[in-house]
Amino acid sequence: MRWVLRIALPLLGAAAALQAFPYHATVQGIPFEVQGSLFSRPVLSADTTLGSWEFPDFVGLPFGVHISPEDVDVLQITRAAEGNLPAFVERLQADFAAQVPRIATWLLAEFLIGLAVGLAVAAAINMSVRYLRGRPRRPSELRYRARQLGAAGLALAAVTVYGVVSYNPDWVRESRLTGSLAAAQLFPDQLSQYYTQRSKALDVLGSIVGIQAELQSQVEDDQTPQPALQIMYISDMHLAANYPLVAQYAATYDVDLIINTGDEGAFGPAFELTPGYLDALRAVTAETPMLWVAGNHDSPETEQVMRSIPGVTVLGSKTATSDGFDVSAGLVDAFGLTIAGLPDPRVYGGPGEYGADAPSVVEPLQRRAVQEALEVADPTAVAATTDDPATTATAPPADGSPVADGSQPPPEASSTATRTDEAIDTTPIDVFALHEPVAAEEVREVLENDVRLTVSGHTHQQSSSDELQDGDGAITLVEGSTGAGGLDNIVRGQDRPPISFSIGFVSEACQFTRIMRFQITPQDTAVLTDPATAADVQAPEAFGDDVTASTVFFRPQQIDPDRTCDVDLGISDERPWPTTD
């Protein structure tokens, strides 16, 4: 208990000091409060009544710094920001940067004072306990306490070193917006109209959105070149009436291409796709071309319906067999990018393993489907038959567990399978679209360094930002459900996930420069799409955390320096994955 007090009380003292004594600054006439936090909120953030702007990868320590305006004179902001917003933002940045050393000194001092007070209280409690127990005072009490203080100093030094080492100089490359600040990212024109139609106070709040937007644009200018293409990633529509939303998002960001990783339906049959649903889809693809791969809720008949939609290019194919489904991969050249796709081999309610949900059955099926579609040999088969490297081994079941129809599962495909030199074109794939993340993982294993970005869906949950790009530069994107789960969520009895989608930016040199990822609480999307509702009912604060917008800047990848991406290059016809024929 004494050791718990020795550790806990100094930390509590430091946290309390940071909370109790914020730094107060005035920047360009705007008063700000700068507050530190320990453990409770370890990010760098700017908070306003319109939402929050966070930078989560500042440092590895559980320490945060939060900036928020206080007692704002809105008329003063209006006078300062009117006319030349970029110049006002530059002055704001310069004034705040000049105060950063004082702010840092203040936060460090109150942290150390809180730590020292906590240590003193812990020492006092320990000595009081010894006194109450009737123990004699140690002859070397001061030396003992000095050693404890020295140990605390060494621990503090170690933590400080860790903080310095873990400091991320590229912290500005990832940020997250919430509330109306995020909503303004979705529909900047509509939100601007909203603010200008309301009172002067709300017009000033609109200028705060403008300040954030100007700061964000400066970050983008510093981090990335001008984009040549915008790609929208959607998935798992599940018959939801969200294509009008997709159309608005695409128009807002001048999207050049939509990549849809499947699950258009709920149970699989083509008659699920009603005329109204297909009309909404046609309205999207009339303006923006779409690449589509079938998911596990899409039957071969659904795939044929999608092929009939003008503007939709189906990648790969799914065909019924006597005992399940066969899938093949396809390729297109789109605006200078080589994009491949492979459907999910399952169909909801299908026979045996082709309708299974258990990971022990699904994962081997997905891996085997990827290897067969890309004509990859099982390494054990290569070792057994060196004269025929394309032969596939028939190993016994991996775990012996039965599949849905009572039969034994197929042999588990090795995740370390290698491709045959003859089977696969060596042209690097810029984007490989699949439905299942485990299939995307297998594609990376199979094609090694020949895939720059994989995109999948299925899980109804976006992958976290720190999982997007690995140390080698490869990008792995898992998109959430743009249809917010649809009937699939009702069947599973789960809460509806947020409506999720992403907008990726590609430079003229074909580099993936950054991605913006959006999540919207489903029941509140009318606020964003109905101008009457937005203008007459909702206040800016009402968006709360219903909208989240995250921006992640990618590190450059190693690609041919002579490559060019441009919308004028167009989209080719789909062609099958290269074979040994």
Write out the H or E segment, with its range, that includes residue 477: strand 475-478
Q: What predicted TM-score, i.e. pTM, was given to this entire model?
A: 0.77
Q: Do the domain assignments include residue 497?
A: yes
Residue 292: strand pairing partners: 260, 314
pLDDT(427) > 70: no
pLDDT value of position 328: 96
Q: For a pLDDT cut of 70, what percent of the chain falls above it?
A: 76
pLDDT(210) > 80: no
Note whether 379 and 290 are same-domain residues: yes
- Mean pLDDT of the 401-424 span: 40
pLDDT value of position 193: 53
pLDDT value of position 396: 34
Note whether 229 and 157 are same-domain residues: no
Note whether 334 and 434 are same-domain residues: yes
Note whether 312 and 451 are same-domain residues: yes
Q: Do the domain assignments include residue 136?
A: yes
pLDDT value of position 564: 94
Which residue range is the domain that position 283 belongs to?
A: 224-511+554-576
Q: How confident is the model at residue 492 (pLDDT cuts 50, 70, 90)?
A: low
Lowest mean per-residue pLDDT among 322-336, 474-488, 506-520, 538-552: 538-552
Number of domains in the chain: 2
Q: For a pLDDT cut of 90, what percent of the chain falls above it?
A: 38
Query: Of 462, 463, 460, 528, which Cα lies nearest the Cα of 182?
Result: 528
Note whether 128 and 229 are same-domain residues: no
State which of 73-77, 80-84, 465-469 shows the largest mean pLDDT.
465-469
Q: Do the domain assignments include residue 190?
A: no
β-bridge pairing 418-419 and 376-377? antiparallel
Q: Do the domain assignments include residue 33?
A: yes
pLDDT value of position 173: 81
Note whether 374 and 294 are same-domain residues: yes
pLDDT value of position 132: 81
Note whether 251 and 398 are same-domain residues: yes
Q: Distance between CA 336 and CA 256 in Å, rounded?
A: 12
90/275: higher pLDDT: 275
Note whether 153 and 235 are same-domain residues: no
Note whether 360 and 246 are same-domain residues: yes
β-bridge pairing 30-38 and 23-27? antiparallel
Lowest mean per-residue pLDDT among 479-483, 523-527, 546-550: 523-527
Distances from the Cα of 168 to the Cα of 59, 165, 174, angstroms: 6, 8, 11
pLDDT(191) > 80: no
Q: H helices of 133-199, where?
A: 141-166, 179-186, 188-197
Note whether 11 and 90 are same-domain residues: yes
Angle, CA 498 vertex, CA 492 and CA 500 arms, to 5°: 115
pLDDT(283) > 60: yes
Q: How confident is the model at residue 453 (pLDDT cuts 50, 70, 90)?
A: very high
For residues 40 and 66, the answer to whether their CB atoms sit within 8 Å is no
Q: Do the domain assignments include residue 529?
A: no
33/485: higher pLDDT: 33
Q: What is the mean pLDDT of the chain?
A: 80
- Mean pLDDT of the 171-177 span: 84
Q: Burial code of 20-42, b = ≥16 C-beta within 10 A, e = fewer?
A: ebbbebebbebebebbbbbeebb
Q: Do the domain assignments include residue 526?
A: no
187/160: higher pLDDT: 160
pLDDT value of position 123: 80
Three-state SS across 266-326?
Answer: CCCCHHHCCHHHHHHHHHHHCCCCEEECCCCCCCHHHHHHHHCCCCEEECCEEEECCCCEE
Q: Do the domain assignments include residue 218?
A: no
State which of 2-6, 205-209, 230-234, 480-484 shows the largest mean pLDDT.
230-234
Note whether 14 and 140 are same-domain residues: yes
Q: Do the domain assignments include residue 338?
A: yes
Tokens of 517: 């990822």
Residue 334: strand pairing partners: 337, 571
pLDDT(485) > 60: yes
Q: Which of 128, 150, 169 is the last residue of a domain?
A: 169
Helix/strand/coil for 156? helix
Q: How confident is the model at residue 481 (pLDDT cuts 50, 70, 90)?
A: very high
Q: Which of 124, 154, 169 is the last residue of a domain?
A: 169
76/197: higher pLDDT: 76
Tokens of 438: 């485990």
pLDDT(439) > 60: yes
Q: Which of 123, 141, 169 is the last residue of a domain?
A: 169
pLDDT tens digits, residue range 348-404? 888 999 988 899 999 999 999 999 999 864 433 322 333 333 333 333 333 333 333
CATH number of 459's domain: 3.60.21.10
Note whether 107 and 230 are same-domain residues: no
Q: How confident is the model at residue 52 (pLDDT cuts 50, 70, 90)?
A: confident
pLDDT(60) > 60: yes
